[in-house]
Structure 1
């Protein structure tokens, strides 16, 4: 089996050829800045991401919402570019750019033609190092974020997922809405967010990932020039911020069942239990199990709950992994009078998986889907960029498609059955929104 490539912090330079003939290169600067690139033969574009390993779970109470606030504010201007100029730089060459905040990281990313990659590096370094956080822009963006939160509150599905995370993780920071609350955003001050920016956006925290038609040495030179121009000292020694390897914990859940009363046509529900950490070696088993259980139109849940019985329109299984914990479960939406039976059938499918495992043909099909889906995903330079960042920030190793396929090939029926048994032995947390019959309530409470 082809081995994964380790990414230790004390290795200044790495150069390797990986599956498909791509060239993987990585540089760790003395200041702690990391650049990891994948040159993809035949590509005419490049996707670039500036990643900061900082998300909503890292904020102190007074800072709550600052990561997401910064995600907005860094687009509002620097000493050399106002907000319109930042946008125009990308849009006039047909590129796109955006940002995202999660519970464990923030990323500023762009996709451009290969010839415009230098521009993308220049603009993103300017934003990351030199944003003004102008007071007037701060107040304008406060209003925008409050509108964003209000929009979420108007969407029943968004409300369901936000409340589910709050109940599942209780008082732990993972349970907080990423964008903050109206109260925390109204309480934020420009100086507090500025202090958060200055303390956390440093050379030690920065990972830049680029995939596509990229020359590593040229990109490194352009990156360093931009960071130095922004006032960063790249000569000062600084080890990269440690990866989030943490002891696993099971969330202390605030409630094992909650029903949100909304006037809706359907009952929307989530049934979930603690899952796996990001770096858990069973993650390939986990992925195959989810594909078989609820990953598509050929999955057990789709066939049994929707196709055979007609109980739902939507049903699927899901998983989310964090550094020290995870969540796994099933989501469905159905007419209120069908919810009780839908929950019973879902529960029966979970128990069957934990007791009997999967068939050889099912497992072979899932492995084929994993290999094919992985190959198709790599047609996207954005997906390759995210793979590089996950390798650098989370896993500490780069595993190409051949490694992933080989690891999936080793998974057995017993591996899946044992993992399913471990997960189903736990108490389930359930969250619903919309009408809820007493029969459905009884079924959901029985899962706790």
Structure 2
């Protein structure tokens, strides 16, 4: 089970993914069953990667187009363009007039949406199986032929500005976004995916079109199709649509890891009666050997009713109304966070109690029973998440875009092999109780 999976509902949807994306968390790694053969991968001559799984248990087909472009790829003058472009690709192409979503997707009982993160953008649709060819053709069309109509572009500014306002009004969303600003100051991961009001208001079609042409190229595309389909048929359609695009030669530059972290403490006044406390540390990146141990560490700390922080701070001491831990591994770095909602008077004690629990974990480690519960929770999450074609497609697409598919499929087994000693070592390596970012939202005095 990929670590991003279980924590994505909090961090990717609330922080990184576009507000127009309704999709839940990215699904965990799934080992193919006897009824569903392993996904097949073919790289077309122009660099497009095509992943297909024949999933006969599904009555619908999931088709997704992943693009290796996200907030990290923007220049400082382009903040929010990856997200804004995602909105605009549903507004019409040279071949499809505005309203094609209603006609070609919703009109046949399907659904379509998209999401933007720091590391990627993806477009996902679920259609009746008989519409698989039409769905591939549609995603191939919007990937390079969108008109970016100037009138539609200006109208969409109000939508995006409203998204920004909603984020500012939601303390949890804002907390996670600002945690990234604290941890990644001066790094592309510290910038808001949604952009800034000033850049959105001044955005022109020429600027957005230049970004589109530069980043939406065959070398950056991963097409994923999962459902009751034939691999050969999917590849034929992919070849005559995406396969005809000329190779661009564009190479995405690897993202440098963040520099040395300097502890930072911030208090921000917000209206209301409740306070919010966020503590955060830099964690391992997605493909790091420590990722499974940190994933289980975070689960044991605060991912269930029986986890340590929940039991101590909410159930026994009644110091918080809610508390949760998260681990989000990205391509170039990771984030481990603890976020609590509480009364303002409890802020100092809650921070001290969290740090004391971390010290105990660093000194004494975890029990075999705690480790078994965390692994079982991961296995259960995996089982629930792989029931649909859409969930499988999302797993494969993300893996082939920012990770490696074989690693994704083997992740649950890697979790099972983690020992209590490895979890203690990960806590000592990443959760320094003297070096962390601290952010608090407090009511006005």
TM-score bucket (shorter structure): 0.7 to 0.9
Q: CA deviation at 1:252?
A: 4.3
Distance 2:399 2:172 in 1: 31
Aligned 1:200-215 pairs, distance under 5 A: 200-215=215-230
Distance 2:238 2:375 in 1: 39
Mapped contact 2:275–2:442 kept (Cα < 8 A): yes
Distance 1:157 1:47 in 2: 31
**Does structure 1 residue 419 correspond to structure 2 residue 432?**
no
Q: CA deviation at 1:136?
A: 1.1
SS in 2 for 1:92: helix
1:166 alignment counterpart? 181
Distance 2:151 2:41 in 1: 40
Aligned 1:127-146 pairs, distance under 5 A: 127-146=142-161
From 96, 110, 124, the counterpart of 2:111: 96
Q: CA deviation at 1:251?
A: 5.2
Distance 2:313 2:169 in 1: 28
Mapped contact 1:26–1:34 kept (Cα < 8 A): yes
SS in 2 for 1:398: helix
Distance 2:180 2:373 in 1: 32
SS in 1 for 2:241: helix
Specify the structure having the higher radius of gyration (Cα). 1
Distance 2:192 2:102 in 1: 28
Mapped contact 1:278–1:321 kept (Cα < 8 A): yes
From 247, 263, 268, the counterpart of 2:276: 268
1:114 alignment counterpart? 129
Q: CA deviation at 1:399?
A: 4.2
Mapped contact 1:37–1:388 kept (Cα < 8 A): no
Distance 2:443 2:45 in 1: 58
SS in 2 for 1:83: coil
Mapped contact 1:336–1:436 kept (Cα < 8 A): no
Aligned 1:279-318 pairs, distance under 5 A: 279-318=287-326
Mapped contact 1:133–1:190 kept (Cα < 8 A): yes
1:263-282 CA-partner distances (Å, limit 9, x unpaired): 21111111011111011122
* CA 1:274–1:80: 2 relative to 1, 3 Å: same
Distance 1:258 1:114 in 2: 52
From 417, 430, 433, the counterpart of 2:441: 433
SS in 1 for 2:304: coil
Distance 2:56 2:310 in 1: 39
More relative contact order, 1 or 2 (CA 8 Å, 6+ apart):
2
1:153-197 CA-partner distances (Å, limit 9, x unpaired): 222222222222222211212111101001111222110110111
Q: CA deviation at 1:301?
A: 1.1
Q: CA deviation at 1:346?
A: 1.3
1:348 alignment counterpart? 356
Number of matched pairs = 413
Any unmatched runs of 5+ in structure 1? Answer: 1-16, 438-448
When structure 1 is superposed on structure 2, of 50-59 and 279-288 the one drifting more is 279-288
2:11 alignment counterpart? none
Instruction: Kindly report structure 1 stretches of 4+ aligned residues shifted beyond 3 Å.
Output: 17-21, 238-244, 246-253
